[in-house]
Amino acid sequence: MLIFKQAIMKRYIYTAIIVLTCFMNACTKLDVPPMNIIQDEDVFTSPGGIQIYMARLYSELPIEDFRYSPARGLNHFWIISPFSAITGEALSRDQRNAMSEAVLYWKDAYKLIRETNYFLETLPQYAENFEASEVTHWTGEAYFIRAFTYFSLAKRYGGVPIVRNVLKYPEQDINQLDLARASEEETYNFIASDLDSAIALMDESSERGRANKYVAAAFKSRAMLHAGSIAKYNQVSLFDANQKRLCGIPAAKAVDYFKLAYDAALMTEGKYSLYKKAWSAGDKEAQYKNYVDLFFDEESAENILIKGYSFPQSVHGYDAYNVPLQAMGPNGYSSEISPTLDFVELFDGFPKNADGTLKNLDDNGKYIFYDNTMDIFANAEPRLRATVILPGDFFKGESIEIRRGIYTGPVAGGVSPLIPVGSTIQYPTTNIVQSANGSQTPYQLPNGELMNPAGKSGTFFSEETNSQTGFSIRKYLDESIDKSQVKENNLDQSWIEIRYAEVMLNRAEAAFELYLAGQGANYQQDAYTQINQIRERAGAELLPSAGALTDVTIIRNERRKELGFENKIWWDLKRWRILDKEQNNRLYRTLMPFYAAENGKYFFDVRKDEKNRFYTFDPKWYYVEIPPDEVAKSTKLIQNPGY
């Protein structure tokens, strides 16, 4: 009995031991690496690995696209204060005055530069995994990305520290990592040399969204034109202790840079062409449609470098923020960008006064009447219609109704200006019915019909989510998107970062500057050819002859029209160093359509911005403030003047 009990006891103990030690057999190991970390040998051994590396570099590439705003920086979903609202191209409800970029692009740039340098240093170690030509192309691509990044630093800060290799920390002491700025000239030369490497190493074609030889060349024309403009027009100097010029380039170098820009542009000739798929000579409607389509055709021969989007991983909300009020999507955004009359007046095709301003008054100083708001723009340049929605023009099959109010006073003998010309006061309330916001109380017209005082897309005197200027933005708005899908973070049309029209304008400007610098009349001729090609496609009036190209302003204005709202003009106005003169306590002008109840016709009041948004550009903004925390922790980094 006792023996039996002991046997049972043993079984207990054995069972207990088994249970207690079962987890010991599986002995928990402490070497458990995280599951989402991969190594160089996973990446640099297949083209797929290189592609995901490149996907990172391109995602960080400082392209100022739909998701850029000077107030929010790069890759931001919620765009307020878009670039066009500080260049004078447009007014925006979120922008009250002039400003410089609020988000300082610096750390992210050097992060991308490091990743590019790391790629350049690591790829050769794994070269045996690839064709030699692949390695060469990718190396060139990395040089392009590095140059692109340095240019976005140089155009902001002037000379910046140049990092050519991966900086090692903690192997190197912090003091060794504290780098001084290169001169502005050295910086541009470094960009030029990287681009030259890129042009030399890369293939002639690439996946859409990535660079090739001609992308690098096209970009070089942009960067060198910028450098040439700085050399010629910049007045600011900043020297370090060794008399190295951190801000500014000797004027004598201007010609060299313009020449580099011109030659680079020339390289792309024949590789790209202006988009004219739907274009037809003399057919304004076709030219209009062609210009609209230009921004949506992925196969366009004009596209040089695009930044693609794809729902749902990578999206933007351009249409949602910018459609006119009556085309508003379900989440309630609209009309972030209202183009100014000043911008519209750059174009042709509507009555103008001698000074080039829109003519809204007859010779007696009374308003000119029109049957509808589009009548005044009946002959407008097709490019203007494709860039800006004019009051009453069609978008998504609907006439975009922009009306400031109903004039109920007498029309017999004409109507004099409602407020003195040039005044900033509010419209009087006598004889004018207007709406504070979108919930409108209809006004009964003499014929008994009801009419809302303001149009479906504005303009209201209080609410600002509607046209503020009489115009609404048109460029890049996709008519094919259903209204229910016009939402933020829901849109994926591509952004065209470099298109051939820009390269032609770079070439024309560089050529004309070379001509002005006495480099030969053939440059003037070439500039003329480029400009007229662009004008022809735009449906604009052509220049009669090369000789008519007398002033660089003609080329600059062509650029402002062609590249308007493409986030390029800010940098142009800055490199021309004219922004401080353009924006000197300036109020931009608007075009306010009124409906006269008595005769059922429209008239237009031209006035200064009702919301009194004064723009004054501080010249110190030509050079952006280097992030103060970077200056604070460095003994070598010299801050730009004025900060």
What is the nearest approach in angstroms of other proteins to the Cβ of residue 169?
6
Contact with other proteins (CB under 8 A) among 23, 173, 241, 518: 23
Could you say which DSSP state residue 546 is in?
A: G
Structure tokens at 38: 């991969």
- Does residue number 397 form part of the binding site for other proteins (CB under 8 A)? no
- Does residue number 315 form part of the binding site for other proteins (CB under 8 A)? yes
Region of 260-268, 377-385, 477-485, 524-532 interacting with other proteins (CB under 8 A)? 477-485
Q: Per DSSP, what are the bridge partners of residue 450?
A: 444
Distance CA 48, CA 25 (A): 40
- Does residue number 494 form part of the binding site for other proteins (CB under 8 A)? yes
CA triple 318-320-324, angle to 5 deg = 105
Contact with other proteins (CB under 8 A) among 56, 164, 352, 581: 56
- Does residue number 448 form part of the binding site for other proteins (CB under 8 A)? no
Distance CA 6, CA 18 (A): 18
Contact with other proteins (CB under 8 A) among 179, 301, 419, 517: 179
What is the nearest approach in angstroms of other proteins to the Cβ of residue 162?
9
- Does residue number 36 form part of the binding site for other proteins (CB under 8 A)? yes
- Does residue number 39 form part of the binding site for other proteins (CB under 8 A)? yes
Instruction: Please report, for residues 110, 156, 572, 642, the alpha-carbon distance to residue 149 in angstroms, rounded to integers and kept in the order given.
Output: 8, 11, 18, 25
**Rule CB under 8 A: which of 58-97 touch other proteins?**
58-60, 75-78
- Cα dihedral sign for 467, 469, 471, 473? negative
- Does residue number 643 form part of the binding site for other proteins (CB under 8 A)? no
- Does residue number 365 form part of the binding site for other proteins (CB under 8 A)? no
Residue carrying the six token digits 């800010």: 570
Region of 38-46, 234-242, 336-344, 367-375 interacting with other proteins (CB under 8 A)? 38-46
Report the residue number, 315 or 504, with the smaller CB distance to other proteins: 315
Q: 254-267 and 184-201 helices cross at what angle (nearest 10)?
A: 20
Report the residue number, 97 or 545, with the smaller CB distance to other proteins: 97
Instruction: Please report, for residues 186, 283, 302, the alpha-carbon distance to residue 508 in angstroms, rounded to integers and kept in the order given.
Output: 25, 26, 17
Contact with other proteins (CB under 8 A) among 136, 263, 308, 578: 308
Residue carrying the six token digits 């202006």: 274
- Does residue number 451 form part of the binding site for other proteins (CB under 8 A)? yes
Contact with other proteins (CB under 8 A) among 2, 3, 38, 281: 38
- Does residue number 364 form part of the binding site for other proteins (CB under 8 A)? no
Could you say which DSSP state residue 352 is in?
A: B
Number of residues that bind other proteins (CB under 8 A): 112
Distance CA 409, CA 360 (A): 18
What is the nearest approach in angstroms of other proteins to the Cβ of residue 234?
24
528 in Cβ contact with 543 (< 8 Å): yes
**Rule CB under 8 A: which of 245-264 touch other proteins?**
none
What is the nearest approach in angstroms of other proteins to the Cβ of residue 237?
23
Q: Element (H or E) spanning 157, and its range?
A: helix 132-157
What is the nearest approach in angstroms of other proteins to the Cβ of residue 209?
5
Structure tokens at 191: 């960009």
295 in Cβ contact with 476 (< 8 Å): yes
Report the residue number, 20 or 354, with the smaller CB distance to other proteins: 20
Q: Is 248 left (phi over 0), alpha (psi -120 to 50) or beta?
A: left
Structure tokens at 584: 């000197």
Contact with other proteins (CB under 8 A) among 167, 346, 432, 552: 167
**Rule CB under 8 A: which of 95-154 touch other proteins?**
106-107, 109-115, 118
What is the nearest approach in angstroms of other proteins to the Cβ of residue 409?
19
- Does residue number 618 form part of the binding site for other proteins (CB under 8 A)? no
Contact with other proteins (CB under 8 A) among 155, 210, 222, 601: 210
Report the residue number, 66 or 343, with the smaller CB distance to other proteins: 66
Residue carrying the six token digits 């008595």: 598
Report the residue number, 431 or 525, with the smaller CB distance to other proteins: 431
Contact with other proteins (CB under 8 A) among 92, 187, 189, 452: 452
Region of 8-16, 124-132, 289-297, 349-357 interacting with other proteins (CB under 8 A)? 8-16
- Please compute, for residue 429, the number of CA atoms within 13 A of its CA located in the half-sphere on the CB side: 3
Structure tokens at 587: 């109020």
Spatial strand order in the sheet of 405-407: 432-433, 405-407, 589-596, 601-608
- Does residue number 313 form part of the binding site for other proteins (CB under 8 A)? yes
Report the residue number, 368 or 638, with the smaller CB distance to other proteins: 638
- Does residue number 588 form part of the binding site for other proteins (CB under 8 A)? no
- Does residue number 208 form part of the binding site for other proteins (CB under 8 A)? yes
Instruction: Please report, for residues 94, 206, 425, 430, 444, the alpha-carbon distance to residue 408 in angstroms, rounded to integers and kept in the order given.
Output: 32, 62, 20, 8, 10
- Does residue number 173 form part of the binding site for other proteins (CB under 8 A)? no
What is the nearest approach in angstroms of other proteins to the Cβ of residue 420?
15
What phi and psi, each to the nearest 5 degrees, are found at residue 455?
-75, 170
What is the nearest approach in angstroms of other proteins to the Cβ of residue 620?
19
What is the nearest approach in angstroms of other proteins to the Cβ of residue 379?
31
What is the nearest approach in angstroms of other proteins to the Cβ of residue 621?
21
Of 613, 611, 592, 612, the residue nearest 603 (C-alpha)? 592
- Cα dihedral sign for 577, 580, 582, 583? positive
Contact with other proteins (CB under 8 A) among 372, 437, 525, 533: 437
- 585, with CB counted inside 10 A (0-12, 13-18, 19+), is exposed
- Does residue number 595 form part of the binding site for other proteins (CB under 8 A)? no
Distance CA 589, CA 587 (A): 7
